[in-house]
Structure 1
């Protein structure tokens, strides 16, 4: 019988105990980047029955792939890297995980502690690299035969539990390893004693505590509902685990007007929706003057709700979300029910209400028809066609113009799309392809991805991982030659400031990059060509470049703004 790698030396034995503890959290995917100091983990992972290992050349891309996998499974994903600057490349993904309460486990391999500050090669103090964005940090000693396997396991369990306690987050475990790093025999009597003590360890379940808010705050929610004469519901981004049935029953039962973020996955599915981003909606809010607001989920993509709130600092406002900190950039008075469980909404007694959105709904239908009739391919037109005709049930949206196109200009019922995801914790434009690849890898499902050209340039390393993804991932690259969203903002009146430092125009050859990565590539320049492509289900990863002109977007936006106003109350 072949000897297990972990029994060959103390470093491998420690790595086995660490990985067993990690697997007990429910983690199933490990994203490992190359190096020599992490070779013991590589040797043990080859034989680990509960963990699937994904090889990732680039640590920054690896961090975002793990983020996507953790989103898909709603349980931790694991990152392993070598010593030195490698762990610093995880920082952007760790920040996003921190902001969105997504569980990640970072295992950074290190040189022994006596080499820190000695001038030794590829050696830095790794203890504070991710510090501000962690739920817990555990700095292990180098493998010591004086520490038994049960003791090491207890240290790991305490730290890993912290990452799973509501609100969940990132745990960083630093693992200094001594030579030999290869799976070769190197044992003493005491190291053999450690290996022998591993026999007493058994698989267990490491989990954190969920949080349910006290009944007093739920009572305030009922009081808010029954006192309201002109209520308003906000549906922000919802985690995949959210009880959508309970939320939908509440929204339909109340019949209050509803502002739904594209990340709620309710956009287009409810009759009482209005759109926060449109000028007409902002006028409608001034007329409607809600006297109570119930906000379910995280913060909205649109900034206009925050602007309205600043005018109504004493508006009765209840937020139900898993957000760890404040969810109120307007700094108004509000009640925050921190919960990742929306089931308690089932028991609320609802008064009879009448919808106040008929006029707005009719106006949005007119706007939708205008987008459909516009002859050129624009971002609003792209959003409309993908939501109506894509065969994929899953949609991942890039930040900046991409997510705003779907959040603002899509009003109809989607044909197939059921889940919409995005990295909105810190709203960065890097790592988007990587995150979507991790989502597809962990879920085993097809995904459509829409992002801009600047975002793609920030994530070129991920195209290699995308090309070998087993799940059909279709990336729509909207190329408007730089950060043209800024032309829609007040800064657009100052072209000398805008170009080139803000818009960063380019002549990048995306086809050449796709070919280098071995990735299928297409270019789509008309609405008819896009529709024909969408009517075919994707079978393998592909990059689809969609050139659009900012002038067409601006012309369409101006036409929508001048649609006849309707009486909305």
Structure 2
């Protein structure tokens, strides 16, 4: 039996019709009718996470893995506000996160009633759609309720993915579970019209450009672009730049381009800038690439963006293409006449420098002392094939980008807003739906901030967390500026002497630790073994001064190679 609330019945019926089958629930009374109805229907897989902030990131991780919308449902009041960071991340990472909040009736908002705040439109600036459902009392109300739900659910995936908020006012009594079945709610089917971009003018520009560059931003794993990009690269000399979070894997691509740029002199940099730039995907980590392209502007910049929104990261867009990247690039590759480009060797310039940088990094790693950089490098070399790697923001993603990665490894990171607050919860959510190994590389502040991620009934036995504990915000020791402040250690980097051991064991995970290469070499084979069926945390302790020294020495070495 289900709740007798008409707005809930309409919502649940339509969610099933839209294929939304995974729901993350946080406990509460006002949302109890929603919880009851979701858990009593066999079509839903339900998860329970008490901390709403963690729950929303958990749902985000599920959606990353499943590549489909996932719902998070909470009670009224400040519970909803805790969803904010994950909604922002979903908005900028373009993940279809459905937020469902129970609420008091509208008449009681602002009337000093318990657990009551203005919830309607709370996240309007960072949600594709926000609606508040009525509590239907007649046929017109029910039609209106149905229409609003359809509008919201359509926007989860229409013209690009993103989060949607549905606020559900519920009057007492709440606990009347007397409805035997769901209604056959009307579904409005949204039909996407593919954007066709005429490629004739673009072919001409491609043919007359001598320094072509394709930059791939963050994309989900298994994005299907490898074959298409390979076909395009075969039609003429071009450079392909992609970070690990781009999840493209081609022999020609320059994955270490940030290190290449770091090795260049001011005089050399102009030679490495394109006259034709093609961009696709989401965020990039490399600040050096942004600086290069903002300073040495290409004559043409085509930005391929399905939603058609202007995101002028490099301040250079000349053409905005509201199309699917795969469709446009495939059509372009099909219609371009192959060119030998004997006089153009832009890709050769990049490839040669990339090879030199790779050799220097390999030499440096062999000689460098135990530090965050060498620990991360050793860990990445050990990653099993077909595993998944989540990268926390700040130092971890930058360390990881320096190391060569097995092309079968999928990489994810919360780079929509680059926050440290939900990386672990996201990885835990991803792992809950992932049959293979899910690794998370995370720093100590991110780990302790998101410690409630481990207070979770759904911790997968295939979860592996490498915690790099350097006693504070190590990133602030790697960049220029923070050291000038007397507040550096105590407030900016937040120096501490904490260990995760007791917390990890309290949550029932297996704990390992290392303080030197010998201990790390003993731990990593066990930690990376897919046959071990325990969730694990490997805590590696390092020294801030050594980390900063090693990091700076690497970039000095690159400048002088």
Fold agreement, TM-score > 0.5: yes
Q: In the alignment, which residue of structure 2 is the partner of 1:189? A: none
Contact 2:212 2:238 in 1 (8 A): yes
CA distance in 1, matches of 2:549, 2:47: 46
Q: In the alignment, which residue of structure 2 is the partner of 1:515? A: 505
Secondary structure at 2:491 match in 1: coil
Q: In the alignment, which residue of structure 1 is the partner of 2:412? A: 421
Instruction: Provide, for residues 99-146 of structure 1, a one-character-per-residue CA deviation record: whole Å limited to 9, x for no partner.
Output: 122111111101112211211111111113212112112111224355
Contact 1:319 1:336 in 2 (8 A): yes
Note closer, same or farther for the CA distance 1:35–1:108 as it changes in structure 2 (3 Å cut): same
Q: In the alignment, which residue of structure 2 is the partner of 1:250? A: 232
CA distance in 2, matches of 1:219, 1:308: 29
Aligned to 1:541, which of 527, 535, 547? 535
Instruction: Provide, for residues 378-416 of structure 1, a one-character-per-residue CA deviation record: whole Å limited to 9, x for no partner.
Output: 333233223322125211100000001122x12x3x346
Contact 1:110 1:177 in 2 (8 A): yes
Matching of residue 299 in structure 1 with residue 283 in structure 2: yes
Deviation at 1:526, TM superposition (A): 2.9
Q: In the alignment, which residue of structure 1 is the partner of 2:471? A: 481
Contact 2:196 2:323 in 1 (8 A): no
Note closer, same or farther for the CA distance 1:509–1:148 as it changes in structure 2 (3 Å cut): same
Deviation at 1:230, TM superposition (A): 2.2
Contact 2:273 2:296 in 1 (8 A): no
CA distance in 2, matches of 1:507, 1:139: 47
Aligned to 1:127, which of 120, 130, 140? 120
Deviation at 1:166, TM superposition (A): 1.1
CA distance in 1, matches of 2:25, 2:534: 24
CA distance in 1, matches of 2:437, 2:82: 28
Instruction: Provide, for residues 41-89 of structure 1, a one-character-per-residue CA deviation record: whole Å limited to 9, x for no partner.
Output: 1221222122111011010001101111112222211011111111111
Deviation at 1:178, TM superposition (A): 1.7
Deviation at 1:22, TM superposition (A): 1.5
Aligned to 1:36, which of 20, 29, 34? 29
Aligned to 2:263, which of 267, 280, 298? 280
Contact 1:257 1:356 in 2 (8 A): no
CA distance in 1, matches of 2:463, 2:501: 17
Deviation at 1:272, TM superposition (A): 4.8
Note closer, same or farther for the CA distance 1:541–1:183 as it changes in structure 2 (3 Å cut): farther
Note closer, same or farther for the CA distance 1:20–1:214 as it changes in structure 2 (3 Å cut): same
Instruction: Provide, for residues 425-465 of structure 1, a one-character-per-residue CA deviation record: whole Å limited to 9, x for no partner.
Output: 11111011111111122333321100111111210111112
Aligned to 1:312, which of 274, 285, 296? 296
Deviation at 1:241, TM superposition (A): 5.7
Note closer, same or farther for the CA distance 1:199–1:438 as it changes in structure 2 (3 Å cut): closer
Instruction: Provide, for residues 323-365 of structure 1, a one-character-per-residue CA deviation record: whole Å limited to 9, x for no partner.
Output: 6633323423432323344143233124334432343133223
Task: Report 1:239-388 matches (<5 A).
Answer: 239-240=220-221, 242-244=223-225, 245-251=227-233, 254-266=236-248, 269-270=251-252, 272-277=254-259, 278-281=261-264, 284-322=268-306, 325-347=309-331, 348=333, 349=336, 350-353=338-341, 354=345, 355-388=348-381
Cα RMSD for the two superposed structures: 2.7
Deviation at 1:556, TM superposition (A): 2.7
Q: In the alignment, which residue of structure 2 is the partner of 1:525? A: 515
Aligned to 1:457, which of 448, 453, 457? 448
Note closer, same or farther for the CA distance 1:396–1:207 as it changes in structure 2 (3 Å cut): farther
Q: In the alignment, which residue of structure 1 is the partner of 2:218? A: 237
Note closer, same or farther for the CA distance 1:228–1:527 as it changes in structure 2 (3 Å cut): farther
Note closer, same or farther for the CA distance 1:99–1:184 as it changes in structure 2 (3 Å cut): closer
User: Structure 1, unaligned stretches of length 5 or more?
Assistant: 186-191
Deviation at 1:151, TM superposition (A): 5.6
> What TM-score, normalized by structure 2, do the two folds share?
0.89
More displaced, 248-257 or 224-233?
248-257
CA distance in 1, matches of 2:134, 2:323: 37
CA distance in 2, matches of 1:521, 1:61: 22
Note closer, same or farther for the CA distance 1:314–1:112 as it changes in structure 2 (3 Å cut): same
Deviation at 1:287, TM superposition (A): 3.1
Contact 1:315 1:333 in 2 (8 A): no
Q: In the alignment, which residue of structure 1 is the partner of 2:205? A: 224
Aligned to 1:84, which of 73, 77, 86? 77
Note closer, same or farther for the CA distance 1:564–1:548 as it changes in structure 2 (3 Å cut): closer
CA distance in 2, matches of 1:17, 1:424: 35
Contact 2:10 2:183 in 1 (8 A): no
Aligned to 1:448, which of 439, 443, 467? 439
Contact 2:217 2:279 in 1 (8 A): yes
Q: In the alignment, which residue of structure 2 is the partner of 1:188? A: none
Q: In the alignment, which residue of structure 1 is the partner of 2:148? A: 155
Note closer, same or farther for the CA distance 1:448–1:209 as it changes in structure 2 (3 Å cut): farther
> What TM-score, normalized by structure 1, do the two folds share?
0.88
Contact 1:166 1:209 in 2 (8 A): no
More displaced, 310-319 or 165-174?
310-319
CA distance in 1, matches of 2:307, 2:497: 40
CA distance in 2, matches of 1:479, 1:124: 39
Contact 1:109 1:175 in 2 (8 A): yes
Deviation at 1:273, TM superposition (A): 4.8
